[in-house]
């Protein structure tokens, strides 16, 4: 058996679970593997994009063999080839363009409204649930799962997005803030802070350093702890 086939076979169960869980009309691009698949029917996949390089093509051929055993088939009649990337930045660009196709295809489960078009300007990191996990030393530790809850403007359905997915659909800025009472604490990149200082717009009285909780003592995400934030008061309050 060829090497690529062995690699895929090792992950047979993971591939099967992934394909089974995909909705019809959704896409899949294993990170950095150089191809994009779409599920068009229950057991039918289409190769949409792929880097025209023999390692990618051989890998796809291995995947085809595996999915055939799992009862799926992959068609490549309408495939669009991408040129072999000239450097790692180019490879990243291609990977990002595949990711963008996937993200643009995310829809509200209630009415198919595109997730990327949903307004997130009043969405803040929300504690979804706290679970107990075993850490590396075998101790039980609490783990907080944060998400971003988007409201569909068309049907009112709420979509809870993981932090990673939200970053892909709406960027990082809205993730780096919390709302405490009627105050928003927005963390900035170092570049934004530098620009504020250089332009003379920096006003220390409007900034606050966050500790392990919000100023009123509420839980905040780990990535907000220790952030130097700009405060703004919400109009109308709460
Ligand atoms: Zn909807």
Residue 110 Cα, ligand 1 centroid: separation in angstroms? 4
Residue 150 Cα, ligand 1 centroid: separation in angstroms? 10
Tokens 């944060």 belong to 146
- Tens-digit pLDDT string for the chain (238 aa): 455 666 788 888 999 999 999 999 999 998 888 999 999 999 999 999 999 999 999 999 999 999 999 999 999 988 999 999 999 999 999 999 999 999 999 999 999 999 999 999 999 999 999 999 898 899 999 999 999 999 999 999 999 999 999 999 999 999 999 999 999 999 999 999 999 999 999 999 999 999 999 999 999 999 999 999 999 998 864 4
Angle, CA of 125, 174 and 132, to the nearest 5°: 25
Residue 148 Cα, ligand 1 centroid: separation in angstroms? 16
Residue 108 Cα, ligand 1 centroid: separation in angstroms? 5
pTM score, whole prediction? 0.80
Strands 44-51 and 80-82: parallel
- For 101, the token pair is 């196709």
* For the chain, domain boundaries: 3-105, 109-171, 176-238
Residue 158 Cα, ligand 1 centroid: separation in angstroms? 8
- CA gap 201, 207 in Å, rounded: 12
């Amino acid at each position: 058996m060829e090497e690529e086939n062995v690699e895929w076979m090792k992950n047979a169960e993971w591939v099967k679970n992934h394909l089974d869980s995909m909705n019809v009309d959704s896409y899949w691009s294993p990170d950095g593997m150089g191809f994009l698949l779409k599920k068009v029917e229950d057991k039918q996949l289409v190769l949409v994009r792929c880097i025209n390089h023999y390692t990618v093509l051989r890998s796809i051929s291995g995947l085809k063999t595996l999915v055939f055993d799992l009862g799926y088939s992959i068609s490549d009649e309408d495939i669009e080839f991408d040129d072999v990337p000239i450097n790692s930045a180019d490879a990243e660009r291609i990977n990002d363009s595949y990711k963008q196709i996937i993200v643009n295809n995310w829809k509200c489960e209630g009415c198919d409204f595109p997730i990327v078009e949903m307004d997130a300007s009043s969405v803040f990191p929300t504690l979804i649930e706290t679970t107990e996990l075993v850490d590396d030393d075998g101790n039980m530790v609490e783990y907080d799962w944060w998400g971003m809850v988007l409201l569909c403007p068309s049907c009112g359905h709420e979509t809870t997005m993981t932090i990673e997915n939200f970053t892909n659909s709406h960027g990082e800025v809205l993730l780096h803030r919390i709302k405490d009472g009627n105050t928003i604490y927005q963390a900035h990149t170092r570049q934004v802070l530098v620009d504020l200082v250089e332009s003379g717009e920096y006003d220390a009285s409007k900034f606050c350093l966050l500790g392990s909780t919000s100023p009123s003592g509420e839980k905040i995400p780990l990535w907000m702890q220790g952030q130097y934030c700009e405060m703004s008061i919400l109009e109308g309050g709460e």
